[in-house]
Amino acid sequence: MRLRAPISTAERYLAGAIFVVLLLAAWTATTWGTPEARVVSPAVLGSPAEVLTSFKSLWFERALTRNLLQSIWRVLQGFGLSILVGVPVGVLCGTFPRFNAFLAPLSVFGRNVPISALVPITLMWFGIDELQKVMFIFVATVMFVVFDVARSVASVDEKYVQTARTLGASSSQVLLGVLVPLALPEIFGSLRLLFGIAFGYIILAEMVNMTGGLGALILTSQRRGPMEHVYLVLVLITLVAFGIDRTLNAISSWLFPYREQD
Summarised one tens digit per residue, pLDDT across range 187-208 is: 998 899 888 888 888 888 887 7
What's the confidence (pLDDT) of residue 102? 92
224-to-44, 68, 217, 219, 227 alpha-carbon distances in Å:
13, 19, 10, 8, 8
Which pLDDT band, with edges at 50, 70 and 90, does 259 fall under?
low
- Calculate mean pLDDT across residues 60-84: 89
- Per residue in 1-16, pLDDT tens? 677 788 888 888 899 8
Please give the DSSP secondary-structure letter assigned to residue 138.
H
What pTM does this model have? 0.82
- Per residue in 73-109, pLDDT tens? 999 999 999 999 999 999 999 889 899 899 889 888 8
Which pLDDT band, with edges at 50, 70 and 90, does 260 fall under?
low
What's the confidence (pLDDT) of residue 89? 94
3-state secondary structure 162-181: HHHHHCCCCHHHHHHHHHHH
- Per residue in 218-239, pLDDT tens? 888 888 778 888 888 888 888 8
What's the confidence (pLDDT) of residue 262? 59
Say if residue 36's pLDDT is above 80. Answer: no
Contacts of 171 (CB under 8 A, 6+ apart): none
Please give the DSSP secondary-structure letter assigned to residue 40.
S
Buried b (16+ CB within 10 A) or exposed e, 105-131: eebeebeeeeeeebbeebeeebeeeee
- Per residue in 100-153, pLDDT tens? 899 889 888 888 888 888 888 888 888 878 888 899 999 999 999 999 999 999
Amino acid letter for position 214: L
- Per residue in 149-183, pLDDT tens? 999 998 888 888 888 888 888 888 888 888 888 88
What's the confidence (pLDDT) of residue 229? 85
What's the confidence (pLDDT) of residue 160? 85
Say if residue 41's pLDDT is above 80. Answer: no
